[in-house]
Amino acid sequence: MDVQIEIERLRSELHKHNHRYYTLDAPVISDYDFDQLLKKLEQLEAAHPEFFDPNSPSVRVGGEVTKNFETVSHRFPMLSLGNTYSLEELQDWIIRVQKLAPNATFVCELKYDGVAIGIQYVNGALARAVTRGDGAQGDDITTNVRTIKSIPLQLTAPYPEDFEIRGEIVLPHARFDALNAQRSAQGLSLFANPRNCASGTLKLQDSAEVAKRGLDAYLYYVLPEGVLASNHSESIAHAGKLGFKIPRTQDKFIAKCDSIEAIMSFVNHWDKARKELPFDIDGVVIKVDSYKAQEDLGFTAKSPRWATAFKFKAERIPTVLESVSYQVGRTGAITPVANLKPVWLGGTTVKRASLHNEDQIAALDLHNGDTVFVEKGGEIIPKVVGVDVDNRMESALRIEFISHCPECHSPLSRLDGEAQHYCLNESSCEPQVSGRIDHFISRKAMDITGMGSETVALLVKKNLVSTPADLYKLTYEELIQLDGFKERSVLNVLEWGGSFEESAV
């Protein structure tokens, strides 16, 4: 047996089965038979490392550890889209485009709520995958993207020599729920929502852990324009033939539209049907189909004139206000928080929502036990946006804003013209002291590793530190007596302080 030929045969066969299973949803062999083929390939590759290929199907299981993700420049800028929540503004945009490009037709697509990605293919092989970043440059996460089974590693049809395809990496609801169930059983904190989980997963250093998460991807934009076809819709259809998981017309994930009425029909359909999808979307993207018309319409400084996004309004649901608590920030700012009867909203269980300040509580005329309406600002942060006054009990008491700090009991201050209340006891109010030290060691400040918020809070509580400078005065005898501190933990803190002090000198 020619080992190299057998390895190539197995790789080719496994690529085809991956495509049929994860992209076409039409497998022709059992999971067991697939696993046996993969096992055989892994054994041959292990015995013959000279035939290593970074795009072998065996890399799907991960295993490579990336210490740092290289920042690279995009060959084509990843611009953001203009967007609106107003159907009237969307119609105005369509009319403007039609005046500038009278024969323009449009393509409507889902606006996936995931992580934008650009993937370069050279000679049919996956060469590089880069996050959006700031639009001009992003992080090279190729190793992790190779573990996503719906993204082809090797194309089988005739393909351009060098091109890029862009899209969105998403975490399906089923996988998100399974991950959170597993974390709950292990006593770990739960992921907030699928998008945040997908983003965090792609930055994990261990690609084997990425492989376990079950990320998926939809790819919908080919660069350079015209490399596959003269318009966007045909380019996407062609990309599907190359093996990519694309938005398909039969699923109604994409549609060509030649009128305002057709575009509005697509938008209205998905505003209602989005809850039935196995992944999150937050709107619809509308693009001019012809690349020539796109070129004529051009760009603004931040976004293309030939595309826009219509964003769905946040879902709003009722629940019960059980109490109001107050948080103290590192600047002493007091933020009221609504504690709610748990309710499912936008893919997560919501138990708390910000009330911002005293004026917001007064504007809502909040009473204990009120039925309140909650939505997620920007589909992320829960907030109370209204009260069902008709359901209010006659005996309900109005929520009165506190007059003293909930932590140190100092009187609160509110300056004229400001909405926020402040605790002025900055020297000994524990949340303020801890918050300032947390900020000092955070990634955006000194970027110090080896000490987290819980450790800082404990040190402040035990009166061992009150300023960042106190971190460098800690002793072995003080730390070893703390709950949860063993010798290794103590040495990590002391080594960190010593090495930092030396570098500062």
Kindly state whether residues 216 and 327 are assigned to the same domain: no
Residue whose token pair is 């020539």: 292
Determine, yes or no, domain membership for 481.
Answer: yes
Q: Judge contact between 132 and 119, C-beta under 8 A.
A: no
Kindly state whether residues 390 and 278 are assigned to the same domain: no
| Mean per-residue pLDDT over the chain, rounded | 87
> What integer pLDDT is reported at residue 410 of this predicted model?
96
Checking if the pLDDT of 1 tops 70, the result is no
Residue 80 pLDDT class (50, 70, 90 cuts):
confident
State pLDDT tens for residues 411-463.
Answer: 999 988 888 999 999 888 989 998 888 888 776 677 666 677 777 888 888 88
Domain boundary among 268, 287, 311: 311
Q: Which of 122, 119, 121 is nearest to 221 (CA)?
A: 119
Q: Which backbone phi and psi does 274 adopt, to 5 degrees?
A: -60, -25
Kindly state whether residues 178 and 305 are assigned to the same domain: yes
- For residue 337, what is the domain's CATH number? 2.40.50.140
State mean pLDDT over 405-413: 95
Determine, yes or no, domain membership for 378.
Answer: yes
* CA angle in degrees (0–180, nearest 5) for 74-76-80: 90
State pLDDT tens for residues 198-217.
Answer: 999 999 989 999 999 999 99
At 120, list the tokens.
Answer: 């370069």
> What integer pLDDT is reported at residue 256 of this predicted model?
96
Determine, yes or no, domain membership for 39.
Answer: yes
State pLDDT tens for residues 310-342.
Answer: 998 877 889 999 999 999 988 899 999 999 999
Q: Does an H or E element contain 284, and which?
A: strand 281-288
Question: Please, how many CA atoms are within 13 Å of residue 247, restricted to the half-sphere of its CB?
Answer: 25
> What integer pLDDT is reported at residue 496 of this predicted model?
61
Determine, yes or no, domain membership for 68.
Answer: no
State pLDDT tens for residues 466-500.
Answer: 888 887 787 888 888 777 677 777 777 776 654 44
pTM exceeds cut of 0.75: no
Kindly state whether residues 177 and 280 are assigned to the same domain: yes
Kindly state whether residues 194 and 209 are assigned to the same domain: yes
Look at the alpha carbons of 226, 228, 234, 240 in this order and tell me if their dihedral is positive or negative: negative
State pLDDT tens for residues 143-201.
Answer: 999 999 999 999 987 899 999 999 999 999 999 989 988 888 887 777 878 888 999 99
Q: Which of 294, 257, 315, 350 is nearest to 113 (CA)?
A: 315
State pLDDT tens for residues 100-152.
Answer: 999 899 999 999 999 999 999 999 999 999 999 888 899 999 999 999 999 99
Kindly state whether residues 415 and 438 are assigned to the same domain: no
Q: Which of 162, 161, 137 is nearest to 70 (CA)?
A: 137
Q: Judge contact between 307 and 298, C-beta under 8 A.
A: no
Kindly state whether residues 368 and 287 are assigned to the same domain: no
Give Cα separations from 412 to 90, 356, 427, 467, 484 (angstroms): 46, 16, 15, 22, 35
Checking if the pLDDT of 501 tops 80, the result is no
Checking if the pLDDT of 505 tops 60, the result is no
**Residue 212 catalytic?**
no
State pLDDT tens for residues 350-375.
Answer: 899 989 899 999 999 999 999 999 98
- Domain extent for 109: 77-311
Counted domains in the chain: 4
Q: Does an H or E element contain 235, and which?
A: helix 232-242
State mean pLDDT over 300-305: 86
Kindly state whether residues 198 and 347 are assigned to the same domain: no
Kindly state whether residues 21 and 35 are assigned to the same domain: yes
Q: Which residue has the higher pLDDT, 505 or 211?
A: 211
Checking if the pLDDT of 94 tops 90, the result is yes
State pLDDT tens for residues 241-297.
Answer: 999 999 998 999 999 999 999 999 999 999 999 989 999 998 999 999 999 999 999
At 334, list the tokens.
Answer: 């007091």
Quick one: residue 111, left, alpha or beta (phi over 0 = left, psi -120 to 50 = alpha)? beta
- For residue 488, what is the domain's CATH number? 1.10.150.20
Determine, yes or no, domain membership for 71.
Answer: no
State mean pLDDT over 391-418: 92
Q: Which backbone phi and psi does 275 adopt, to 5 degrees?
A: -70, -20
Checking if the pLDDT of 345 tops 90, the result is no
Q: Which residue has the higher pLDDT, 67 or 166?
A: 166
- For residue 21, what is the domain's CATH number? 1.10.287.610
Determine, yes or no, domain membership for 499.
Answer: yes
> What integer pLDDT is reported at residue 16 of this predicted model?
85
Domain boundary among 290, 311, 332: 311
Determine, yes or no, domain membership for 334.
Answer: yes
Residue 503 pLDDT class (50, 70, 90 cuts):
very low
Look at the alpha carbons of 452, 455, 460, 461 in this order and tell me if their dihedral is positive or negative: positive
> What integer pLDDT is reported at residue 502 of this predicted model?
37
Detail the DSSP E strand segments found in 80-236. Answer: 82-84, 106-112, 115-122, 125-131, 137-139, 162-170, 216-223
> What integer pLDDT is reported at residue 447 of this predicted model?
67
State mean pLDDT over 86-97: 94
Domain boundary among 311, 341, 360: 311
Kindly state whether residues 328 and 343 are assigned to the same domain: yes
Kindly state whether residues 236 and 378 are assigned to the same domain: no
Determine, yes or no, domain membership for 15.
Answer: yes
- 254-268 core/surface letters (b: 16 or more CB in 10 A; e: else): bbbbeeeeebbebbe
Which of 16, 99, 111, 241 is catalytic? The answer is 111
Kindly state whether residues 231 and 246 are assigned to the same domain: yes
